[in-house]
Structure formats: structure tokens, C-alpha cells
Amino acid sequence: MRKACALGLVLAGAVLIAGCASNPYAKIDDAAYHADYPKSMELLEKDKAKLYRDRLLYCLDKGMLAHYAEGYGDSTGLLQEADQAIEEAFTKSITETVGSYLINDTVRAYAGEDYENIYTNIFNALNYYHNGSLEGALVEIRRMTEKLDFLAFTYGETIDGLEAEAEEKALSMPEERRPSQRFSNSALARYLGMLFYRADGYGDDARIDQEQIKYAFAAAPQVYGFPLPSSIDEELNIPPGKARLNIIGFSGLSPVKIEEVIRIPIPGARYVKIALPVMAPRPSQVSRIEAAIEKGPSFTLELLENMEAVAQETFKEKVSMIYLKSAIRASAKGAVSSTLGTAADLVDDSAASLVLGALSLGAQVFAEASEQADLRLSRFFPAKAYVGGLTLDPGTYSLHIKYYGQHGSLLYVSDLKHIVIRENTLNLVEAVCLK
């Protein structure tokens, strides 16, 4: 009994220490928050051995910071490596799958969350555009839409199989844990596709993607719960002799994961612990983005994609599987403890009863301690994407993209000098404020 109490105190102390530990990414986050992306990358590189057990997460984080720092070639290399690692980890060896059933999901190689998987292609498309390759940009957009179709099919098959296994063990998934309508179309991907096809002279393909933006809004109101940007209808109606300026403004930071612990009943009037990862938004100060042409008009960018909501919505598919698998795993661990406890009560030999009782307690402690949520996640995807467009005379312009807070305070200004706006091509500029 004293040993059990001592163990409890040690575990409680460890949890307290862990909870009080400072954010190991704090300095990197702060530099990114203040738009000092080279410093963020320098700090990340300095501490990468301590911060990144998974090469995939390192590539995602540094790849995104490199993109913000306009190191588009470096960003492409890192994000392509991440894309390949996600694909490989998705079909990892069966040994890691077995380990995840015995202990928890953290023993597996990190395979990336679905929104990381699809938005990697978005930012690689932008990388290719900035480096002058529309063809490469379009390949990335097509890869993203193919991934969405594949993920929707794969998860449907896997969830059905896990639910059948759970039913055999008298377990079920609560309705609130079931995924809602699957996210299968990205307005941001379609918007970029429309612009890239327009610039490449593929008018029909550009019109298809323009319509697909509207379909994306109609099909997923839980993600697109805001008006369609008014500039969308203007994008394919550029008068002869005029040029079109397009702006994408990214803001905020993608969600992080926190752990939610729940307990579910199992046969024998017992309960088992399940530790689930939950997407937690990171609040952003940005409430409005304005683009102003120096000595010319200004206009407000409009929200096109709530990437934070996409992250949460696509995670619902995976968390349904995590819930079922965790319940199956936890019930198996609980059954071991229950069986040993029952045997301890029935055996006549007091010494054997003591040993079995100790083993039962040990199995229970192991089951409790080993159930941990997998909280791994990249840190530097943005939370929202805003867009806007303006038809101008061809020429050279200076542009100021201003980020405002809720009470009208100016948070950040991206000054773009001597931007050459040409007709019959894509003039796309990008700004970001992670505050």
C-alpha cells in the first residue's frame, strides 16, 4: 500500500513538473510572431536535435518558415521531403501498428495530420509560382485535390473495420465522436488553380475551378461559414489592355494539440482511461487586412479559407479512428488487470494471491500511465487565408498590405515596392502576419 502511495506521489510530481515546463519553442515562436523568419530558422536549427524526434515535423516547420522568409527553393526542398515522408509513414510497417495497439500512438513514426498533408502542396505551389514555374504550381494543386479524394475513401474503409472490431468487445463510439460530412474540396486550392490556369491560357479549366470555389462553400458550411469573396466573379473578366493584381494574405497560426482524458465503462463494472488528442486553436489578433496602392485605391481582403477550421474538420476523421483504437487498446489492458485481480481473489495460496494482486495493480498502473495522446503537430502553418483582386493599368506600383487588430490598431505592414504589374499574366503577391 505504501509503495502504491509513493508511486502515486511520484507520478503526480512528474505531471506537475511537466505541466510547469516552459514552451521549448518559445523563442522560435516569438521570432516568427515578429516576422523575423531568418532568426526563427536559426533558432530552430540550433535546437533541432532537442525539439524534433521526427524529421517530418522538422521539415514542415523549417519549410514553412523558409517560405515566409522568401527562400522558396529551400522551402520547396523541405516541403517535398515532408510530402514524401508523409506518404511513406502512411504505409509504415506493421510492427509500428502493433506497437500502437499495445502502448499508444506515440510509438509510431509521425505520419502528419491531413491538413498538413494537403496544405504542404498549397505552399509548394506558391513556391513554384514565385520561382517562375506555373507548371510545377499546377502539379501541386492537382496533387492536393487527389489527396482529398484518397483520404475520404481510406478513412471510410478503416473506420468501418474498427467499428466492427469494437462491437465485438461491447464498445461503441458516441455520436459526438463520429465524423461529420467529409471535407473534400478546398476553396484555396481551387482559387490558386483558377489563377494559374488563367495565367497559362486555359480558360475552360480556370472557369471550372472558379465554379469549384462556390461548390466548396456550398458543400462544407461547417468550414465555410462566411460569405464568398466578392472578387471571385471578377477574376476571369479582365478587360483588354488591363492587368489584374491578386493578393493572398495569411494570418494567425495553426492549432496545437492538447490531451483530453475520458473514461469509458467496460464489462465487469470497471472503467478504462482513454487519452485523446484535441485540436486547440491559437487566438489571432488579426481581424482585418487592407491592401493599399500607393497614391491609389485601397480595398479590404476577404476571407477565403479558414485553414484552422479545415485542420479541425479533417482531424475529426482521424480522431474517430483514434477513439475506436484507443478504446480497444484500453479495454484489452483493463481486461488483463481484471483477470489477474479475479485470479488473486480465487486462489487459495496467500503468497500466490499476493503476487497476482501485485501483478493486477501493476497492470492497472501500466494501463493508466501508458495511455497518452499523440500531441505531435507542426507549428507554422497559418490559420486563415484572405484574398483580394484589383484591375489596373499595366505599370509599376508600390503596395502596402496592412494588418489590423479588433479595435483598429495597426499590427503589421508589408511594404512591397516597385511591383511590376503586367497584362496577360499572373501578378500574385503574398503577405503573412502570424500574430
Q: What is the DSSP string of 44-59?
A: HHHTHHHH-SSHHHHH
pLDDT surpassing 90 at residue 255: yes
pLDDT surpassing 50 at residue 16: no
pLDDT of residue 97: 46
Which one is predicted more confidently, 144 or 76?
A: 76
Q: Region 177-187: what's the mean pLDDT?
A: 69
pLDDT of residue 261: 85
Q: Region 265-291: what's the mean pLDDT?
A: 83
Q: Which residues pair with 248 in a beta bridge?
A: 387, 430
Residue 422 near residue 393 (C-beta atoms within 8 A): no
Residue 9: which pLDDT band, with cuts at 50, 70 and 90? very low
State the Cα–Cα distance between residues 434 and 152, nearest whole angstrom: 30
Q: Region 91-113: what's the mean pLDDT?
A: 62
Class of residue 81 by CB neighbours under 10 A (exposed 0-12, middle 13-18, buried 19+): middle
State the Cα–Cα distance between residues 66 and 75, nearest whole angstrom: 5
Whether the model pTM is above 0.85: no
Structure confidence by residue, pLDDT tens digits, 342-388: 555 566 667 665 655 565 555 455 555 557 788 999 999 999 999 99
Coil, helix or strand for 369? helix
Residue 2: which pLDDT band, with cuts at 50, 70 and 90? very low
Q: Nearest CA to 192 among 176, 205, 177? A: 205
pLDDT of residue 234: 95
pLDDT surpassing 90 at residue 124: yes
How far CA 338 is from CA of 244, 325, 345, 367, in Å, comes to 70, 20, 11, 12
Percentage of the chain with pLDDT > 70? 72
Q: Region 296-311: what's the mean pLDDT?
A: 96
pLDDT of residue 93: 43
- The DSSP call for residue 294 is T
Residue 15: which pLDDT band, with cuts at 50, 70 and 90? very low
pLDDT surpassing 90 at residue 419: yes
pLDDT of residue 149: 75
Q: Region 17-32: what's the mean pLDDT?
A: 76
Residue 153: which pLDDT band, with cuts at 50, 70 and 90? low
Q: Region 409-435: what's the mean pLDDT?
A: 96
State the Cα–Cα distance between residues 268 and 144, nearest whole angstrom: 47
Residue 373 has a CB neighbour count (10 Å cut-off) of: 20
Structure confidence by residue, pLDDT tens digits, 186-236: 999 999 999 999 999 999 999 999 999 999 999 899 999 999 999 999 999
State the Cα–Cα distance between residues 251 and 284, nearest whole angstrom: 8
Mean of per-residue pLDDT scores for the chain: 82
pLDDT of residue 392: 96
